[in-house]
Amino acid sequence: MALTILGLSGSLSHDPSAALYIDGKLVAAAEEERFIRDKHAKGRMPFAAAKFCLDFAGIKPHDVDAVAIPFAPISLAEPARWHYARRYWYAPDRALDALFNGNRRYRRYRGRILECLKQLGFDSGKVDLVPVEHHLTHASSAYHCSGFTEKTAILGIDGKGEYATTFFGYGENGRIHKIKEFYDPDSLGGLYGAITEYLGFEMLDGEYKVMGMAPYGDPNKYDFSRLAKFENGELVINTDYANVIGLRRYKEAENGKSRGYFFSPKLIDWLGPRRQGDIADDPYIHYAASMQKLFEDIALQMIDHYLGDILRETGRLAFAGGGALNVKLNQRIIARPDLKELFVQPASGDSGTAIGAASYVSVARGVPVEKMEHVFLGPAYSNEEVIAACEQHPSKPQWQKIDAVPQRVARLLADGQPVAWFQGRMEFGPRALGGRSILGCPSVPGVADRINEQIKFRERWRPFCPSMLDTVGPQMLGSDHPAPFMTFTFAVAPEWKARVPEVVHEDGTSRAQVLRREFNPRYYDLMLEMEKLTGNGVVLNTSLNRRGEPMICSPTDALNMFFGSDLQYLVMEDVLVTK
């Protein structure tokens, strides 16, 4: 009998998603936002994502052995709720609620998931619904998917789950052991999110923009050390300034309503007004640099304190949670002399907890899960489906079926044209890795600015990333550390900075994807063609979407985006659409 586990995340929070394991194999996984075209799909159910997973695998609700969710009840006998109540003493309604009704959100979460399952055709009386603590799901998504067989240090840095914000543990023989957790409001991820809001971006969406802005500033110009400290094994966030609730929140009028932020008026008194608009300017670039430095420094201190011994023993670290998407921190972790290999879960944020919950339950029921080597887990579309979408589209696209797709597209790229590239199964997680991408030639001057201004409509200072052949990675990045998921930055070798300047950021680094052919042969072959034409087996790769929209899922989504931008070329499977 096959063991079939469906993982569902979201429902009350953001980034709802679904993942399906059958006998330890991750068969399908997808994020709800891609189907309903609402970025982060806040407060939505993972209905369409779950339906896709079941349909893709050809199974019915009664074939599912268990449904795992990344949210669990937290006992009053544990320290989490007491810590929350004590630290939020200034908001007694919230503090008392944590003590007397501390699992209210879990009950709502569970209720909404059961409602979603009912809509999917599950018998809610018979469904085996298994709650897994939020940070254990992050830990499982990192450790169980890493493929590491030795004792492995496990790190989770997040905003918060039920109450926990940070997780230190280790994995051994398939089992996860907890060493230490920190609880809300003592959250490094939460602090980064609060400063993200102060810098004019959306929390849970703009953190990577702060990271992209940081290299333009001087981290030593402003001292942010008052915001957080790590001493005697404890993390303490200064809630006079950030991670605040209730009356301590700074408020601004927005569309006739008052909007509260996760920082206080005291932060404004200290640093000045909240940043507005798209310009990366003084002093905000320095604030971004200072926040990034504080985040890295404290994270490294915490790793050393709780996981240093394990790293010195085996050199293996598995990392997840929203904080694991901070590629600059990851670069510094890889630089540790005791680190042999870092595995960062490619969907480290909350969407990945669907994989985490399902993998945790699979392992607990005696079926280990496979190593996660690629993210091509979403829907794919045939040439016939692509042509049907073209025929039905109101913009009447001009299309033709072509052969030798890698050669044709490489020629367009080498001529300086950006190309929308829609191939195979859609990626799971926030990074476009050659399934739903906009590509450019990184040696063509100005191609990055052109994609920014005419296609992506996003801030000028945001960097673009390279995808490259595995034969190029070690030369360009000076490292043979695996980098399949764009979760690390590397310092670019001087010769390569001159060769592919469009994918090198302000600080001389690139957030790279180093490709092995077996997981995406057509994308790999495209880079081989680029190498023949330009001498560089590298492409500029950014996600196929416009600012504020989720990544493209279907051919119709791709056509809508194509006709809403200045793109001239879109290739979907073997079909080339031109303007």
d(CA 20, CA 369): 11
Do 549 and 564 contact (CB within 8 A), yes or no? no
What are the angstrom distances between the C-alpha of 127 and each of 52, 58, 137, 353? Answer: 19, 19, 20, 20
Q: Is 144 a catalytic residue?
A: no
**3 state SS for 416-484:** CCCEEEECCCCECCCCCCCCEEEEECCCCCCHHHHHHHHHHCCCCCCCCEEEEECCCHHHHHCCCCCCC
Show contacts of 233-237: CB within 8 Å, 24+ apart.
233/180, 233/305, 233/306, 234/182, 234/186, 235/166, 235/182, 235/186, 235/188, 235/298, 235/302, 236/186, 237/185, 237/186, 237/187, 237/188, 237/190, 237/191
- Spell out the alpha helix ranges (H) of 280-336: 284-314, 327-334
Tell me what percent of the chain is helix, strand and coil, each rounded to the nearest 5: 40, 20, 40
Q: Of residues 14, 83, 286, 393, which has the active-site annotation?
A: 14
Phi and psi (nearest 5°) for 344? -110, 125
Judged on CB neighbours under 10 Å (0-12, 13-18, 19+), 128 is exposed
d(CA 520, CA 541): 14
Judged on CB neighbours under 10 Å (0-12, 13-18, 19+), 491 is middle
Do 487 and 344 contact (CB within 8 A), yes or no? yes
Residue 462 CA to its chain's centroid (Å): 17
Residues 6+ apart with CB under 8 A from 378: 28, 29, 30, 34, 52, 425, 426, 427, 428, 435, 553
Do 225 and 178 contact (CB within 8 A), yes or no? no
Dig out the tokens for 247 from the structure. Answer: 């009356």
d(CA 540, CA 489): 15
Nearest to 112 by CA among 12, 13, 5, 33: 12
d(CA 4, CA 460): 46
Could you give the 3-state DSSP secondary structure of residue 216? helix
Do 159 and 322 contact (CB within 8 A), yes or no? yes
Do 487 and 333 contact (CB within 8 A), yes or no? no
| Token pair 């939460």: residue | 190
Judged on CB neighbours under 10 Å (0-12, 13-18, 19+), 429 is buried
Do 195 and 91 contact (CB within 8 A), yes or no? no
* Residues taking part in catalysis: 14
